[in-house]
Amino acid sequence: MIHTINRNTYGDLLAQHQPKAIKTDAENEAAILLAESLEHRQRTPEEDTLLELLIILIEKFEETSYPLPNLKSDLMLLHLMEARNMKQEELVGVIGSRGVVSEIVNGKRSISKAQAKVLGELFHVSPSLFI
């Protein structure tokens, strides 16, 4: 369902909160506080639109200010296995033989797209984490 917004009401919200590109941690914290206050209550369509804008601004700032390290796929797999107290043997038959699993876990073999899909389903994450 597409909500139509009242331009005057939305304009008043924009004037009141003055959202803009976030440049500092303090501005980010203020935007997060406002977004959280909107998120945890019944919102008007205009407030929904403001919340969407805030989320975009916050994500952009955080992606550039705090980029996630580009983890190798084998390190991501090891992390997820450790989080579940999972042993290599538990992946045998899921993504390949004992030798294939060992090579992947030790970074000697890359994870195929098919294996990434299976691992994504197994760990409930995006397969792109393994590619």
Please, is 31 exposed, middle or buried when counting C-beta atoms within 10 Å of its C-beta (0-12, 13-18, 19+)?
buried
Asked if the structure places residue 90 within a domain, the reply is yes
Say what the pLDDT of residue 1 is.
52
Residues 11, 57: one domain?
Answer: yes
Last residue of a domain, one of 65, 98, 114: 65
Residues 56, 77: one domain?
Answer: no
> Is the CB of residue 50 less than 8 Å from the CB of residue 38?
yes
Residues 58, 78: one domain?
Answer: no
Q: Which residues of the chain fall short of a pLDDT of 50?
A: none
Say what the pLDDT of residue 12 is.
96
Say what the pLDDT of residue 36 is.
94
Segments forming the whole domain that contains residue 106: 73-130
Last residue of a domain, one of 65, 99, 115: 65
Residues 51, 91: one domain?
Answer: no
CA distance 17 to 53: 12
Say what the pLDDT of residue 52 is.
95
Say what the pLDDT of residue 19 is.
96
Last residue of a domain, one of 19, 38, 65: 65
Say what the pLDDT of residue 68 is.
61
The CA dihedral of 92, 96, 99, 101, to the nearest 10 degrees, is -70
